[in-house]
Every structure is written in C-alpha cells, then in structure tokens.
Structure 1
Amino acid sequence: MLSTDHGAGPVLDLLDALGWAIVDTPEANVHATSPDGCVYVGWLPEDPSAWQRNIVWHVRVQPADGDAWVQKFGLHTPSEAVAGFLAALVTHSSC
C-alpha cells in the first residue's frame, strides 16, 4: 500500500542510502544533490510559491552535455512513487 501521510521518508531514505548531500532548512524544506551534482531534489512542503502551483517535489537534472529538464510532483503523489522515479533515474542516468 502506498503512503498517504505525504511524508518524505521513502525518498530521503533512498537519497541518503545513495550518498546524496541532504540539507534541511529551518522552514522544514529539504534540498538534496546527487554526488556528481547533476541531480537536485527538493521537498518543498513549506515553500509558498510551490504550494500555489501544487508542487511538493521538484527534481532538476542537468546532464553534462545537454539541456536541463525538470519533473515536478504534487501533494497527492505518494512518496514511494517519487522514490521509484528517482531510483529509475539514477539507475539509468549517465549524467
């Protein structure tokens, strides 16, 4: 069963296990960067501009030789789904 508590646990556990740099802000937002610096993940539950656009998760990929792209997930996207997306991304990424 997928989580309905809208917590960041599954994603943060994955990123921590992968050795990503993770920073918590005083506002309770979380920013994470992959070891190679190519991927950024933001969990933004307390960012007013993100909430206004129904965004809680912000993923930004900057390939070494290509254009950056962004994927955003809303409040109702289970954290397990975001973790699955990120697991697939890092498994198949040549950033």
Structure 2
Amino acid sequence: SKGGEVQRDVPDERADPEAEVLEAQLDSDVQRALMVLSVDLRAVVVLSDIEGYSYEEIGEMLRIPVGTVKSRLHRARKTLADRLRHLNPRRT
C-alpha cells in the first residue's frame, strides 16, 4: 500500500519504555488526585477538562448555574494543582 511504507518509517513515540512508564505513572497520579475531589468537583473538572463541555453545557447537565460551574472548576483545579505539584521537577 502506498501510505503504509511511509507510516513504517515514522518512529513510534510509544516505543520508549521509559516514556511509557512515566506516562503510566502520571495517569496513576492524576487518577488518584481526581479521586480525592468531592463528587461535585470531580464532575465539573471531568466534564470540562477531559470531555470538553462548555460551562453552559455542564450547568445544564448538572442542573446548576454557570457561576457554580466556574467556582467548582476553580476549586477543583486548585486542589488538583496542589496534589500534583510534586510532579513538576522545577520546584520554585
């Protein structure tokens, strides 16, 4: 096949075992941090940052005002940042 030859020449980023281990560790750390959040905070952060819904859509789905979506998202992101800060090798 025409396109198949080109694809085989492109190095697979996932072929680096160290990168795979680091990615798996990051996923694990993020999942643990998400589980620390209350159900209300976790719902808005998953719907917004992972699923990509707008504040308005989240408000409709959860039957809460957009302002509540924004405040919960802010609290969730701050909590996640605090919990995941140790992952940043450049501590200041």
**TM-score of the superposed pair, with normalisation by structure 2:** 0.24
Identify, as 1 or 2, the structure richer in strand. Answer: 1
Identify, as 1 or 2, the structure richer in helix. Answer: 2
**TM-score of the superposed pair, with normalisation by structure 1:** 0.24
